Amino acid sequence: MAPLADGVLMERASTGLADTCATLLRDLGLPIAGARVVLLVGTGNNGGDVLYAGARLASRGMHVVAILTEGRCHERGLAALIDAGGILASSPKEQIERADLVIDGILGIGGRGALRDLGAQCARSVHDCGALVVSADIPSGVDADTGAVADSNCVIDADVTVTFGCLKPGLLLSPGRDFAGATVLVDIGLGDHLPHARVHVLDEADLALAVPEPRPEDYKYSRGVVGIAAGSPAYRGAAFMATGSARHGNVGMIHVLDRADGLAQALVDEFWDIVVSTQAPATVSRVTAWVVGPGLGVDLDGQRVLADVLAAEVPVVADADALRMLREPGPSAALAARRHPTVLTPHVGEFAALGFACGSGADEDRLARAREAAADLGAVVVLKGAGTVVASPSGLAYVDGFGTADLGTAGSGDVLAGLTGALLAGAGARGQVDNDAAALIAASAVGLHGLAGRIAAEGGRPVTAPGIIAALPDAIAAVRRGGMP
C-alpha cells in the first residue's frame, strides 16, 4: 500500500469543506462574493483544514477572517489564507455576530473534554449567532468516539458537519448527534488505509436486504413463523403492538402463545390471520423465532413463560418484562444455556435492570456499554435511545441513523420487538442465524422502525405506536423500491 504524499489529505479535506460551504451558502440564497466568513481555528490538523478551506473561499471573493483560539495554528495553512486575502481578527464575539458563515475547526477527532478559554467563548457566541455554522470533521466539544459532551454550554452546535474519510461514532451517538446537524461525508481517499470497521451504519439498501420479496416457490412456512409470548390482563395492548408489527414484518405466519387469560382470543378477533395455541414454546415445531416479554408480567408465571421460550432452539427476542426477569434464577440459567441467538432490546432503565448502566456527559459511552453487556450476557444487545446501538458478543456493532424523537411514545418498543422477531423468523427459515447475523437483522429492524416513525410523522403529525405499525408497509416498500421519504 503506497503511502499518501504529505499534505494530500489536508488538500482533499479542505477542498471538500470549501466546496460544501459554498454550496450551502448558495442553497440558502446568500451571495458567494462578499459573504462574511469566520474561521475558528485550533492548533491541530483540523485547524489546518479550516485555514486552507478559508483560503479557497477567500479566493472566490468571500471576506474571510480567522480567530486563533490557542494563539498558534497550522503555519502553512495560515500563510495560504493570508496570501488569498484572508485576515486574522480579534474580538471574536463581534466577528461571529456579523458572520454569514462560521467554520469550526477548534478541535479535531483527538479532542477530549470541554472547550476552554477563548474556544469556550467562541462556542457561546456561535450558539447565539444567526450564521450558518459548519463543523469540520466533528463539532468541537463532542467526543468523536463516544458522542459524549463534557459541557453542553461549551460545545459547537453545528448546522452541518463535514466529516472526512468515514463517519465518526460521535456523530451518530447521543448526545453528540444533537450538535452535529446534517452530516456530509467527504471522501478523501483513505479507502485501503482505514482499518476494518467494527462499527457500522446501515443505509436503505441494507434495510432492503432484511426484507426480501417472496420467491416464486415460497409459502407461509418457508417465509418463517414468529411466535409471540406477550401481554397479560394488566397489559393487553403490548400483545397487540407486538403482534400487529410482526404481521407487517415480511413473515409467513404469526403464532401466539395462549395463556388461558382470554387475551389470545381477543387477538384472534382483531387479527384473523394469526394462530394461537397453549403448546409449550420449546415444542412448537414450525416457529423459527420467538418474541417474549412485552406486557408479560413479572410474576412467577411470567418467569415460567420466559424460561420456556428461552428453551426453544430458535432465535429469541426478549423485551420489556422479560428483561426485568432475566436476573432471576430460572430465566438466567435458561439464557446461559442457549445455543441460538438471543436479542435483548433494553432502554436505559431496562439496561440497568440487567445490571448495566450508561453514564452521562463526559462519561457517556453507549457503544462501549452495549458491547460490554453483549459480551457479558452472550447475547445481542439493542440499547435503545437517541442513536440506538446494536452490539454482538463478538464486538461487531451498529449505530442507527434512522430513528427520531417521534419514536418516544408508549408501545413503540413493543412494535420494535415484534418487528425484530419477524425479521429473525424470516432469516431463520432461510438458514442458520448466528449472533453477528442476528445483530445485523436487529439493526435492520431498528432502521425500518425508525423509517416507519418518520413516515408516520410526515406533515407534522403526532406519532403513536399504532401509527408506526400502519407505516411499516410503506417503510418496507420505500427501501425495496428506493423511494426513501
Residue-wise pLDDT for 202-228, tens only, equals 999 999 999 999 999 989 999 999 999
| Alpha-helical segments (H) within 163-262 | 177-180, 204-209, 236-247
Closest C-alpha among 125, 112, 158, 306 to residue 227: 306
The pLDDT of residue 66 is: 93
Rounded CA-CA distance 161/179 in Å is 9
Asked if the bond preceding 462 is cis, omega within 30° of 0, the reply is: no
Give pLDDT, residue 85: 93
> Could you list the residue range(s) of the whole structural domain that residue 380 is in?
204-481
Which secondary structure element, helix H or strand E, spans residue 64, and what is its range? strand 63-68
* pLDDT of res. 130: 85
Half-sphere exposure of 224 (CA within 13 A, CB side): 33
**445 falls within a domain:** yes
Q: Where are the beta strands (DSSP E) in 148-295?
A: 160-164, 182-186, 199-200, 225-229, 253-257, 275-277, 289-292
| Final residue of a structural domain among 165, 195, 225 | 195
Q: Looking at the 3D structure of the chain, how many domains does it have?
A: 2
Which residues in the chain show pLDDT less than 50? Answer: 1-2, 361-362
Both 149 and 230 in one domain: the answer is no
Give me 437's grid cell. 447475523
pLDDT of the residue at 108: 82
User: What is the pTM assigned to this prediction?
Assistant: 0.88
37: its cell numbers: 466568513
Q: Distance between alpha carbon 55 and the CA centroid of its chain, in Å?
A: 35
Same structural domain for residues 173 and 208? no
Q: Report whether 324 contacts 347 (CB < 8 A).
A: no
Residues 32 and 55 in one domain: yes
- Determine, yes or no, domain membership for 476: yes
Q: What is the pLDDT, as a whole number, of residue 1? A: 43
Q: Which of 151, 168, 195 is the last residue of a domain?
A: 195
Residues 235 and 180 in one domain: no
Those residues with Cβ within 8 angstroms of residue 462's Cβ, 6 or more apart along the chain or in another chain: none
For cell 453483549, name the residue.
374
Q: Are residues 217 and 237 in the same domain?
A: yes
Show the cell assigned to 382.
439493542
228 in the same domain as 87 = no
Question: Which letter does DSSP use for residue 472 in this model?
Answer: H
Q: Are residues 191 and 246 in the same domain?
A: no
**Any domain includes 94:** yes
428 assigned to some structural domain: yes
Residue 55 has a CB neighbour count (10 Å cut-off) of 24
